[in-house]
Amino acid sequence: MIILASASPRRRELLLKMGIDEFEIRPSSHEEPYDKSLGPEKAVERIALMKGRDIASGAEAGDIVIAADTLVFLDGEPLGKPRDDKDAVRMLSALSGREHRVITGLAVLSQGAERVCHAVTRVRFLPLTKEEIDWYVRSGEPMDKAGAYGIQGLGGLLVDSIDGDYYNVVGLPVSRLAAMLREAGFNVFSRVK
């Protein structure tokens, strides 16, 4: 059984797009703080691994647990999910007209093995007016997303360019996940109908 250790509807949709139509959602309640001393890449890998271990501890033999954590980094500082509208405005104003990095830590745990990696995508925002930022915040879309935007929705209107994996920005680098699942004995390519 594939277990997704996340309640993210975007990650669920991406698994379905990968042809994985049988999986269980068991969100991890583990809250790992961001550890600056590790650096961005290793820190998100650690958070994903801790979420995966939280769920794997209750999994059955043969289960494969997928866990991920996505953070937006501007000038090396992490931007998580906004606390409220004011925080979303602050984040979007800081991102306006600038490049930032989206880093996702990815962990696949099965039969005692732990596979961990990360993906990095550079995203450049268009210069945004206060009115455009306010409009986007009023849409409600920023509230459950790292960096206060969703590239797959209205937030795509804010993006000038990306360099790297689009699906990483959505929250799950699917090509890396497919390779990790293959190593765990679950070949996505042989299952697509």
Catalytic residues: 69
Do 108 and 64 meet the contact criterion of CB atoms below 8 Å apart?
Answer: yes
10 Å CB burial of residue 130 (0-12, 13-18, 19+) is exposed
Distance, in Å, from the CA atom of 54 to the CA atom of 4, rounded to the nearest integer, reads 12
> Would you give the DSSP letter of residue 67?
E
Cβ atoms of residues 97 and 125 within 8 Å? yes
Nearest to 97 by CA among 68, 70, 129, 71: 129
DSSP string, 113-130: EEEEEEEEEEEEEPP--H
Beta bridge partners of 48: none
Closest CA to 102 of 124, 71, 76: 71
